[in-house]
Structure 1
C-alpha cells in the first residue's frame, strides 16, 4: 500500500557546546538512558487499556502486542478476535501478515548471510533485473536497494503485482522505470529491496524462504514465522485480514498474497516470535546467550543511509532510512529504529526500538490501516518518556493515513460527469487490443450486458468502463493499490492512457 509510511519519523538535531572563542567546539555529551523502572511501569500499566480503547474507537477486530526490556519479554498479549463475527480469540501465538515489517526482518536475514559489513556495498547480478541506466545497473549494491536510494520511483512495480504479474516479470520490467539521481534521492520501493534480497539468496545457492529459515528463523527459535503466503494460510491460528464495508463495519477481505515481493512484504509472524527478534536486535545479534547474527553486519542496518524526510523548517527534524529500518534520533541523541507495515487489504503493524533503553514494542493488527498500530507504539513510548501521553496519537495517525489515502485519488470526480458532457464515439472506435512494454496487453471489448469493458494483466482482470466526457471513460480500480475511480482517455491516434498507471509516464498503450 502506498500509504504504508513510517509515521512521525524523527531526525537528529546536534547541538555543539560552545567553548571560548579560541577553543575547538566540544563534542555533545554521550546520550544516556532516561527511562526508569517507574516510567516503564506507568507505560505498561496504561498499555492494555489504551489498546482496548483504541479498538473500541476504530472497531479493529484483533490486536497483538509484545514489549521487551533488558532482554526480557515484559508484556505480551492478544486482544479481540481473529475474524470479525467469529469467537476465536487472538493470542500471542496468532499468526499475522506483517506487511512491511518484512523489511527489517529481511535486513536481519541478509546481515546473517554476510561475512563483513562491507559486503552490503557489493554489487550482485540478479538474472532478469536491471535499471534503465546501464551504469547504475552495474554499480547498484545491496545497501542501495535496501535503503531505497537506487533512483527507482516510489513503489515501482507495485501496480504490476496488483495486475497479477509474477516476481520475474516485475523485476524484468523495472529496467523501463525512469530514474532519479542515484544515491542522492529516496523513494520507497518494495521490488528494489526484493531484488537485492533475492540476489543474496541466489549468491548463496538457495531460495529466499530457505535463506530466511537458515539465517534467522531457525537459529532464533521463531517457529511460527515464514516468508510465503502458504506459510501464513496453513496456520490454523491465523488472523484474517479485514477491510471496511460501506456501513463502516469491518468485514474479512479477499486476502493478500504478497509472494512476488516476499522479502519486502511477504512475512507472517506472531508477537511471541517477534519478541525474540526484538531481543536479538537489542542484543546486537545475540539471543539467549548465543550469537545468531554477526554484530557488525547487523549494526550496519541501524545506520542512516539516506535522508528520507528532509526537514520542512530550520528547526524540524530530519528523517533517515537505514537498511530496512527507519532511523531517527531524539532530542537526547538516542537512536530510534522503527518500521510500520500496512496492507490496504487488511493489515497494519508497527515495531519501534530504543536501543539505548533496551526497550522495544511490536504491534500487529488484522485490519486495513486506520493508525491503531502506530498509535499504540507512539503512546507507549510517549508515556514511558514523559509519564503521560502528550498527544492523541490515534487521532494524529488516523488523520495522516486518511490524508495520504485521499492524496492518491484522482483530482477528477469521475462519478459525476460535467454538465454538457460530450457523447462518446461508436464502440468500435475504442474496441480492440492495445499493447504497452511495461504493463503488457490491454483489451477493450463490448460487455455481455452492453457497454465497454477494459481488461488488463496476465490472467486478465476485467473492469466495466463508465463514460465520463467525450473520449474519456473511467473504471473502479481494485487490489492493494486501488485509488478509487481512475480515468481512461482514448486518443485519436490509436492510443489509450490509463490515468492511475501513468504516474511514472508508463501508462499509455498503443493499438495493435
Structure 2
C-alpha cells in the first residue's frame, strides 16, 4: 500500500515537471522567434509586419511589428491587422476546387470544357484536352505573366477569361513552367458555377467561415473600406540602405488586383492564417471537423511542374503551392507580392510546423524567407547557414537592370492624320486614334494617352501600371493604314479599321 501511495505521489510530480519543461521550451522558442522577427524587421526597414508560427496545432508565436502606414493614419500592427496576401491567395482558390472534388462535382482529370463549354484557348486541340488539373500549375504554354498588363487597360476578370482565346502560346502545352495569374480566373469560373455565387462570396462561405477566419475577406469588400487594412508601401534599395514609401496608386492597384482576384486578392490577418495553417497541418481537418478529405488535401501537394533545382533541392509546383524537396525534408510554401504587400505561407510536414508572414512592404519576400528558414532550423535544432545574411546579400547584390536596347535608325512617320481612325478587334473592342493639337492620342477602355513617335510606324504610349507600350501601325491596300497592334508581351493579333 505504501508503494502504491508513493507512486501516486510521484506520478503527478513527474507530469507536472514534464509540462513545466514543455512550457519553458515553448517560452524559450517564443523569445527566440520574436528576436529573429525583430532583427529581420529592423534590418530590412519594413514598415509593418505580422507573423504567426504554429507548432503541433498550437500557436508558438503570434506578433505584430511596426505600423500599418507611415502617414497620419498609421497605427500599430497587431495580429488582427489585415493585409492583402497577394499570390498566397492561389492556394485558397485551389482548396475551394478541392472542396468541389469532395462533393463529386468535379474530378481533377475532367476536361475544362466539360464544365465550362465557353472555355477557349488559342489552340483548338489544347482547348479540347485542357484538364482541371492543368489550370493552376503554370504549364498552359503562355509566356510568364501573360495578360498581366490587360487590367491596366481596364479589362476586368470576366473579360480576361474571354480574351484567353486570343493569346498565342509561347511554348508547347505542358512542356514549360511559366508563372501565370490569369488561369486562376478559369478555376474561379468553375467555383462560381457549382457554388452558384461569386468567387468572393464562395471563399467567404466555404473557406473562411468553416475555418473560423472571421477577419478574412477579399479586396472587393475591404481594399477601400476596411480601417484595419494596412496600406501598401514601395520597398527598395537606395545605395547601401533599404527605404520605403507609401504607395499612392491605389486606383491602379485595386483595378489590377480585382481582375486577378482568385490569384491574388484575399485579405486576412495572421491570427486567421493560423487556422489556415492548422487545417493543412491537420491534413484537411480543423478543430476535429473535416474541411477536406485526406485524398483531396494530399492531391493539392502532388508535384505537377518542375520549376528548378540547385545543389541541395528540387522545386516543383503543385496546385497553388511550391514544393521544395531538400536535405531537411519537404517545405511547402508560396509567396505573394503585389502593390505594396508581400506574404509568405509555408509549412514543414516533418516538423508539424507552419509559418505565415505578412507585410505592407513590396518588392521582395527575402525577409520572409529568412525568418522561415531561421525559425524552422531553430526548432529542428540545426544551423546550416546564416539565412539572414544569405537573403540580405542576395537582395543587395542583385545588379540593376541595364537597358541594352540598341538605338534604332530613326525613320520619320507618315503624316499624323493618316494614322487616325477607329480600329476594332473581337472581344477587345474599339481602339481609337485621334489627332489633338498636333499630337496623336490613343484610347481603349479606360486608357486615354498620348502617342510618342519611336521609329517609322511604331509609336509608344505610357499606360499607368503597365509602363511603356509600343503601338505599331500597318499599311493597307486601299487605305494608308488598315490595322494596328500594341505590344503587351503577348501576341494578341491586330485591330482593324474594317472588322474582318
TM-score scaled by structure 2? Answer: 0.81
Is this contact kept in 2: 1:156–1:174, CA < 8 A?
Answer: no
Q: Give 1:497 shift.
A: 4.1
> Map of 1:269-348 to 2, 5 A cutoff?
269-309=268-308, 311=309, 315=311, 317-332=313-328, 334-343=329-338, 345-348=339-342
Q: How does 1:157-306 map to 2 (within 5 A)?
A: 157-179=147-169, 180-243=171-234, 249-255=244-250, 256-257=253-254, 258-306=257-305
Identify if the C-alpha distance between structure 1 residues 375 and 446 changes in structure 2 by more than 3 Å, giving closer, same or farther.
farther
Question: Relative to 1, partners in 2 of residues 1:498 and 1:399: Cα closer, same or farther, differing over 3 Å?
Answer: farther
Aligned partners of 1:95 and 1:232 also within 8 Å: no
Deviations 1:119-164 (A, max 9, x none): 2222342254212233332332221102223334432332222211
Report deviation, 1:364: 0.8
1:485 paired to 2:484:
no
Q: Could you tell me which residue of structure 1 aligns to residue 87 of structure 2?
A: 100
State the partner residue of 2:125. Answer: 135
* Alpha carbons of structure 1 residues 357 and 447: separation in structure 2 relative to 1, 3 Å: farther
Shift of 1:167: 1.8
Aligned match of 2:97 in 104, 107, 110?
110
Distance 1:246 1:39, change over 3 A: closer
Q: Are the counterparts in 1 of residues 137 and 304 from structure 2 also a CA contact under 8 Å?
A: yes
Query: SS of the residue aligned with 2:108?
Result: helix
Contact 2:46 2:244 survives alignment (8 Å): no
Task: Show the counterpart of 2:76.
Answer: 89
CA distance in structure 2 between the aligned counterparts of 1:346 and 1:61, rounded to whole angstroms: 10
Cα pair 1:340 1:374 within 8 Å, conserved: no
Aligned residues of 2:469 and 2:486 also touching (Cα < 8 A): yes
1:450-489 matched pairs, under 5 angstroms: 450-456=438-444, 458-459=445-446, 461-479=447-465, 482=466, 484-489=467-472
User: Would you say the 8 A contact 2:26–2:60 is kept in 1?
Assistant: no
C-alpha change, 1:201 and 1:496, in structure 2 (3 Å) is closer
Q: CA deviation at 1:88?
A: 1.0
1:412 aligns with 2:405: yes
Distance 2:307 2:205 in 1: 32
Q: Output the CA distance in 1 between the equivalents of 2:373 and 2:427.
A: 40
Structure 2 CA distance, aligned partners of 1:38 and 1:318? 37
Residue in 1 that maps onto 2:368: 373
Q: Identify the residue that residue 13 of structure 2 maps to in structure 1.
A: none
Q: Does 1:498 align with 2:486?
A: yes
> 1:32: which partner in 2?
none
Taking structure 1 as reference, are residues 473 and 59 closer, same or farther at Cα in structure 2, changes over 3 Å only? farther
C-alpha displacement of 1:168: 1.8
Choose the corresponding residue for 1:351, options 331, 345, 351. 345
Match of 1:30 in 2: none
C-alpha separation in 2, matches of 1:151 and 1:82: 39
Q: Find the aligned partners of 1:49 and 1:90 in 2 and give their Cα distance.
A: 17
Q: Which stretch of the first structure deviates more once superposed, 177-186 or 86-95?
A: 177-186
Does 1 or 2 have the higher relative contact order (CA < 8 Å, sep 6+)?
Answer: 1
CA 1:368–1:137 in 2, change beyond 3 Å: closer, same or farther? same
Unaligned runs of 5+ in 2: 1-21
Structure 1 Cα separation of the partners of residues 144 and 443 of structure 2: 25
Give secondary structure in 2 for the equivalent of 1:183.
Answer: coil
Which residue matches 1:10?
none
Structure 1 pair 476–394 and aligned structure 2 pair: CA distance change class (3 A): farther
Farther-moved stretch of structure 1 (45-54 vs 131-140): 45-54
C-alpha distance in structure 2 between counterparts of 1:39 and 1:437, whole Å: 64
* Residues in 2 aligned to 1:329 and 1:321: alpha-carbon distance in whole angstroms: 11
Query: Do residues 395 (structure 1) and 392 (structure 2) align?
Result: yes
> Structure 1: how far apart are the matches of 2:472 and 2:24?
62
Cα distance in 2 between the residues matched to 1:259 and 1:302: 27
Distance across 2 between alignment mates of 1:422 and 1:135: 42
Q: Measure how far apart 1:238 and its partner are.
A: 0.8
The verdict on how the C-alpha distance between 1:367 and 1:169 changes in structure 2, with shifts beyond 3 A counting, is: same
Equivalent pairs counted in the alignment come to 456
Aligned to 2:139: 149
CA-to-aligned-CA distance 1:163-197 (integer Å, 9 cap, x gap) = 11122211111112234333333322222122123
Gaps of 5+ in 1: 1-35
CA distance in 2, matches of 1:191, 1:140: 15
Residues 144, 470 of structure 1: alpha-carbon distance in 2 compared, 3 angstrom cutoff: closer
**Residue 66 of structure 1 aligns with which residue?**
52
2:66 is equivalent to residue 80 of structure 1: yes
Instruction: Give the TM-score of the pair, scaled to structure 1.
Output: 0.79
